[in-house]
A and B are shown apart, each in its own frame.
Chain A
């Protein structure tokens, strides 16, 4: 048990220490898709989040405060989107993600047949990574937020989006 916690601590330190190489789910499990043309890949660096924090970027007013709150603790964001083979990719994704590392937070299935899974990777009280996997008929989205994520703030943020619909 001690060895496991030592290894976890080491892993956490590596994650905290490295600026370039981020050990997020997309890099780890879906690295091969990064160069695949079928996918749209977005990467927002820690530097960008630092800058967003320093700037007062104009989001929609309602979600602005909530957004700022969540964003200031983020270190990085990776997004992977595919239009083709969405269902298959979704299945592949859920199977690949190691459930010892990532804890399933929530699953959502709604009437228009979107499947969604939210997973987190945490160290004690701190959530280091929030992973969203979405599979619908023609859309597969994988989003990985890395940082010090406070789930309460995320909840507030999604509430503010709901209010806008």
Chain B
């Protein structure tokens, strides 16, 4: 039964151009009930409602383009194994997700991936796996490239989005 369901799910994801990503959804479902995990899922009208709290027009407009936001945070990084993270990454890469950036620093692994359709970004995925924390942010919507730049999420993960390595600091001073 389970296999049939999984197969059906995979078939559906191939047939429809849909924003949902089965492997990501499954990941969220799996860690849903864990004691040390915090999960928030906003979609539809709730997200539009959240956009009312946005501080400026830019953020408001941006939030309207996001159809679903799902965040999973765990204080204990070791609940999710490296293999699981690896498997998730492998799965999403096979589902048209492309890597943007990968940073590994002192036991923390951060991955940014996106999925596009027709020059619009339909999904954004941020994964942070560390020894002491785990975070997964999944965003679905219809974003143009300019929008991503202004993306600001009021979760602690927000500053990771801005953590694009500033090439300047890596350039050696002769």
Contacts and interface: CB of A to CB of B under 8 A. Distances in A.
Interface of A: 34, 37, 39-45, 47-48, 51, 54-57, 59-60, 63, 67, 77, 79, 108, 110, 114, 116, 132, 134, 141, 143, 158, 161, 165
Interface stretch (B10-18, B42-50, B164-172): B164-172
A48 B165 contact: no
Given A47-B114, A55-B146, A108 B174 contact: yes
Nearest to A109: B174
A79 B165 contact: yes
A13 B170 CA distance: 30
Q: Would you list the 5 A-B pairs with minimal beta carbon distance, nearest first? A: A43-B102, A40-B105, A48-B100, A41-B104, A54-B145
B83 to A, nearest CB: 13
B101 A44 contact: yes
Contact of B99 (A47, A56, A63, A165): A47
B52 interface: no
A45 B100 contact: yes
B101 A43 contact: yes
Contact of A161 (B101, B102, B149, B173): B173
Contacts of A47: 98-100, 114
A163 B106 CA distance: 33
10 contacts: A37-B106, A37-B107, A40-B106, A42-B102, A42-B165, A47-B100, A48-B101, A55-B149, A56-B149, A116-B172
